[in-house]
Amino acid sequence: MNTAYLDKEHFQHYNISTRLSHLAAHLTQIQSLTINKAEENVIVSFMRQSLHFIEWTVPELVEIDIDRAAELVDLGRIIARWQHSWNKTYKSAKSRSEIADTAGKLSKRVQEISAHSTV
């Protein structure tokens, strides 16, 4: 399934664990695409969709675990910063490497959160 194009209504039919798995997969894609210097617009598209996934998951997650919901909000801030400075960042191999490394770590953390989400 191509998760890059899930719409809100379809996405919200999934349980939280599955939603978080989609988010983790997107972060892994961002990592891979950034390492391989894929087209800027493709990477930004994954960032944008990841922000939507967070927006569509946090309200329900707050009811279950406010601390993990806050972690996702913080993750959204990180992605928004990447997206905001992407034109500059994309040109720097060092910056892309840092983002790829962070995206990989964040993917693992989202997977951990997903494993503890029961709804």
Q: What band does 2 get if pLDDT is binned at 50, 70 and 90? A: very low
Quote the pLDDT of residue 107: 97
Quote the pLDDT of residue 17: 93
- 17 CB-side CA count, 13 A: 6
Span 66-108, pLDDT tens digits: 999 999 999 999 999 999 999 898 999 999 999 999 999 999 9
Q: Which of 46, 56, 75, 49 is nearest to 11 (CA)?
A: 56
State how far the Cα of 16 lies from the Cα of 66, in Å rounded to an integer.
13
> In the chain, what are the domain boundaries?
15-115
